[in-house]
Structure 1
């Protein structure tokens, strides 16, 4: 059998405050744009048609 060693991690890396503020600003502005202004972004972004029609409907 082989022995496995695990390194004990005593510190948790924390994000820098500037990154945290930038992430909050980006998420907050997107949330305000969607909730208050009803802006969902450009038409090219995201899912265009969640239920596409592959065959013509029967007459």
Structure 2
């Protein structure tokens, strides 16, 4: 059984950047830099919406 048979590299990279963005939110809050936390929060949702839009286009 091959678990990585249907793995799409570009979707994996996008998911990695979304997770990295939300981790950066936690780091920015820890440093009490709330503007940067807000930026990373919005960036995470922008990247996530781009990935969902790309997935919808590929499946249609």
Higher relative contact order (CA closer than 8 Å, sequence separation 6+)? 2
TM-score, length basis structure 1: 0.41
Per residue, is there more helix in 1 or in 2? 2
Larger radius of gyration: 1
